[in-house]
Chain A
Amino acid sequence: MSQEKVTLETARELGLLPEEFEMIKNYLGRVPNYTELSIYSVMWSEHASYKNSIKWLKTLPRKGSAILAEAGTENAGLVDIGDGMACAFKIESHNHPCAVEPYQGAATGVGGINRDIFTMGARPVAQLNSLRFGNISLDRTRWLMKGVVKGIGDYGNAFGIPVLGGEVFFNDSFNTNPLVNAMSVGLVPKDGVVSAVSKGAGNPIYIVGSATGKDGIHGATFASANITEDSAEDIPSIQVGDPFQEKILLEASLETIKTKALVGMQDMGAAGIICSTSEMSEKGGHGMRIDLDKVPLRQQNMEAWEILLSESQERMLMVVHKGREKDVEDVLNKWDINYAIIGEVTEGDTLEFYYRGKLEAKVPASSLVLGGGAPIYEREYHEPAYLSKYKEFNIDKVSEPTDLVEVAKFMVGHPNIASKRWVYEQYDTMIGTGNMTTNFPSDAGVYNLKGTNKALAMTVDCNSRYVKANPKVGTMIAVSEAARNISCTGAKPLAITNCLNFGNPYKPEVYWQFVEAIKGMGEACIKFDAPVTGGNVSFYNQSSIKGKEEAVYPSPVIGMIGLLENKNHQTTLAFKEKGHMIYLIGKAQNDIASSEYLYSYVGIKESPAPYFNLDEEYAVQNALLELIGMNLIQSAHDVSDGGLFIALFESALPRNLGFDITTDAEIRSDAFLFGEAQGRVVVSVSPSRETQFIDYMVSNKIPFTALGHVTKSEVRIDDNSYGFISDLRQIYDTSIEQKINE
């Protein structure tokens, strides 16, 4: 191995710490060469190794009767949904690439998360996106938003997956560093699952799909550093997506699985060939001998480390049972997809990479991976100083607005509340003929499990404002809101995946947010019996602008799936007809803390998380599911962003109906209408079921309030007109597109 001698300085340049350099020397019993050092630098990067988060992630509840693949063991979580079927699902971030190249960054994010699903043998059937941008009045935000949305659309639309849900949130803390999280949900027969494992000495190793180029080299390392003013210079670290190739790779991979000739399969994502070879080998307790000359390249003059680290997209590593090569190659030839045998499985634990006749790197697979030799750290943390100001908030010092109609119109048009149609109409939401929410809108996406009486519900949720105000409670709310959205469709929460977007973990105040978020998540997941099946951690989401570092609002995004056991109980958020009664399940509170109203209309940015009680929340959702099961309610919509008024408004929209309600004299009108206290759901009840509904609520001691009734088209509150639904709709529908095109 004749390569230039590396020094501690070289290690530092590659993002490794001095103690990590020492660890590497210990594992190898010698000084690594440059190729090997590069290997460790990406495999031990935050992005690939979870070195600063794994200790806390392991405290999350990860077991459950329906869990088929425990967190961290496969490329995505796997949950039993009955009828011999399993659901594979996962969420992942692509924040850093999107900050410098939004179109490709978002496109390859969609590509990557879908490969994680089909590498397990599951066919991706639905996509969700959780997007966070800065102030919409900034040119940069508009550029990022246009690029990200087009990137997601172009890739997913061509690949052929419907978007079933998502969220878009604007806040100044994301001005430089947007958050782009993509979730994919796939279906697989339980006996058709493929593992990401390599074993059986002598078995050939195939690389399948796109040729390898210099794109995305050190992408994992790039994702593990702050976004700075110089980040645009890292553009070569960003991958380029080809959805056509991905579609072919999907079909060819799934058809290859049917041959039963595969030992294991893993896609090439972050850290490319080195990541797939080492993770598969470690899992199977074997080694590999790889000849890098055999890897199809799209560029000349690539060095060994570049081939190993390249994050070129749409590639798959397949380990094939020796003697079954022809069966696999027949399928790959049918799909005209490129492939090459690049090596074979060996006894032992060592990965050997040869290039141009020389041994370029020789490393123990286990030393590279999470759970093996990768470093694990516990970082220091302490409560941030900023919170003292949040705790000083006092509602009595906020005067009540004189014109509630004006507030209502402001809220309806606020980008965090207004219709996101400018975004979602650019996504194919109906391909696959499984989206049950196109014509029956509901709080969560619902996907038809054809041929059964069941459907899958899915959602992504996180209110970053609440998490900033109180990371623990804010994250409990994120889990609870996800569960509430699932419950509002009539489905029962099954499991979650998470995308943990935080700032620099080396900052004790940021790390404290992370630790508190994990604690809150664990507690809420246990309550809802929705274990964590995996996900992704994205640190370093902070911007260094003119020397001043600012972390994004902490955003532990929860992706949840639920099971609707009986399709006939699918419940929508839409009021059905004039004359139906409107009830609030859960208690109204004299609370405006951390509401969009307080933050954006009043202008007070610092206040605690809104009212929240986990037990009450659970009781409300449980009651909701029972009411739906007894066919006692016509619609259900949770009270969240924008408060009760917005929930009522959104329920009225689909059928162009209005509503007439009265507020509670005991509670401030602004808190009643726009406060965001948790654990509340707006339902409508037909007059014929009203008695039964009330009987149920009373006998089960669930707090509820009669609000009023559904009207033909006017919105009236306390006998004041708030206008017609069509006028409010105009503001709601066009607000975002107007702001983007300003």
Chain B
Amino acid sequence: MANTLVVIGNGMAGMRTVEELLKIAPKKYNITVFGAEPYGNYNRIMLSPVLTGEKTIEQIMINDRPWYEENNIILHAGANKEVVNIDRRKKTVTAMDGTSVNYDRLLFATGSNPFIIPFPGHDLHGVIAFRDIADVDTMIEVAKTKRHAIVIGGGLLGLEAANGLMKQGMDVTVIHDLQVLMNRQLDPPSAKMLEVSLEERGLSFKMAAKIKAILGDESGNVTSISFEEGEDLPADLIVMAVGVRPNIALAKKVGLQCNRGIFVNDTMQTYDPRIYAVGECVEHRGDTFGLVAPLFEQAKVCANHLAEYGIANYRSSAVATKLKVTGVNLFSAGDFTSNENSEDIIFQDPKRGVYKKVVIEDDNIKGAVLYGDTIDGSWYFQMMKDGTNISEIRDRLLYGQAHLGDSGTQGANAVSNLPDNAEICGCNGVCKSDIVNAIASKSLFTLDDVRDATKASASCGSCTGLVEQLIADALGSDFNETETRKSICRCTDYSHDEIRTAISTNALMSFQAVSQHFSFSSPDGCHVCRPAINYYLLAHWPGVYEDDSRSRFINERTHANIQKDNTYSVVPRMWGGLTTPAELRAIADAAEKYNVPTVKVTGGQRIDLLGVKKEDLPNIWKDLNDAGMVSGHAYGKSLRTVKTCVGSTHCRFGTQDSMGMGIEIEKMTWGSWTPAKVKIAVSGCPRNCAEATIKDFGVVAVDSGWELYVGGNGGMKVRVSDFLTKVSTEAEVIEYAGAFMQMYREQGHHNERSAPWIERVGLNYIKEELIENDEKRKGFHSRFLESQKYAQDDPWAERASKGVDVIDFIPLKVIN
């Protein structure tokens, strides 16, 4: 028999928890939900656009009543279904109308109550809050016949209410007790710009005002408001938006430990182990909550414990805010108040209405306020959460991500202006309207949701920035993709780094050991985590861990690139791009012998035989092996090519032997598995004919030695490499190349090329490890050589001559 879970509160946090629970343990509980509002579950955030008329109630439903039925959830919704008592000994909850249910586990998700300042007259008819559908209905109703509206509170909610009431045709005055609007999110200059812009739209403000009383007529309807300073203002409707208080009356009544909110630990459990709590009603390590992003994280953690997986922990995280007033762009995140240790970088263009302030401490972003141009908000926010060292990009920081030469995100500037039919995801042919419609109609919140539903950004990922921007535009601050801890895949909540650390500290030696250690939701993982963990194990335990070919994608398993028609391509290595007549003859012979339809010179200075049948692979490899050639690993997350130019051997400008150097580097590095593919190049002079500055590791010869570059990429997002250092001897080039390879092998995330890796950890860090610390560099280099001992067996020869995995190339049975 399944246990019973009872949820009190049919709001955003409670139902998100239920959704998360259904995803991972759909049959574990019989679920009953009590909600004091007479609807299914709706997106409270979107009440603002409902008030302005931009959305309807139907459009903001997350789960309508049929959803509850489809998922076998009993919903008791309505004012008389408010839970009024709990017997914790007998484990029953009772609603106002007497409905009573037993529970095994209870979830408190009662949200919060709007705070009403007890001015004289606060209980008059027409004084309301802005919290639920009923409040919005009242506002729209009053606006039909009345004129004067007052909003008390110049915060996020107050301004959205004011804007909505104005859109409904009322004259609205916002009363704020300070000089600075949205003082929790904005600094004085940006707040002033906001005030001016809202005034231009028709709102009135009364700043730093002290309210004396709210006045009404004989029948108890509000009529006006009076101030300490004298002067009254007429009012038919007063909306108080001065903050919320966790709704803990019931919890207190039944003896649950509360302070400002219901106390919960890192697993969202209250002091009563059978009772959990999530959302705005909780207090976690001294924090209470008012935005959905942290609540969704709580929901995930809580579901994990309700499902008895017992592995997730909630940690408070930074939140970012956007104001949902159409046409006003405003973004704020983190701590933007300056102190003696912090520095402010400010950009101000009052004429264009743009203000940007980024607060920096110890080369990390601490907070940001953007007004007018908020495109880079999520970028700053991500760097803030990741603790990215920004010293290298400091001079360009305020010009935005697009100015870093990052072609994949350049378009972000324009994304909101793009036409509906603009193609966002080139791989899957998804256009802007597909994404925007899916977000609205399927209530999608995260990048993963959008990937699932539309396939946008699900392939090469270069459009991720654009898709994130569309989600952010559609959802405002509700968008919570930019989590600090990106889990490796959906089998677990743990990140790449956490898994890597556990592999070494807990001596985990197999995928099974990892999946058990972290209680993966599916024991043999999926196509995302298996290859990643296989790589981590291989990198951590060279010579000990045995590569698991079943955890490799086809190209790496078969050591050839699969083609669209399920044939394969074969690319033999040509050291440093050099070849010989004998090799060319052998390639020509093989091409004829196996009827290879296409022979092509690749962009990597070697020859590709395309269209080989799978069963011919071992034979063609054998022929190439016999002529002295080995696999070019053109298929792997491994060393690809070391491109060279002719250099001093022939070229009139060449300063060093770039071909020789390239061959030496390739002989050292070939065969190694890496987080993602690695390309190297050596140019003989700064004319740089080998394009060394768009390679993962690049070497440019100069008269006095060799310049070394790292982190270049010539692919989807072109990135020019960073100058690492200059060395004078060939031995140093080799040592740096090996050390760089190993550092990347040990620290890069699976599928993360060196360019994004360096952007993540910062060039300074790479320099610290490789240049400033000779011992560390030598350590990396020698670990690389050690692991290469086990890596430099030609995989083609193993299969063609040593019988490895032969069954992979022959049918199990032929039936005629």
Q: Do A and B bind each other?
A: no
| Interfacial residues, chain A to chain B (CB-CB below 8 A) | none
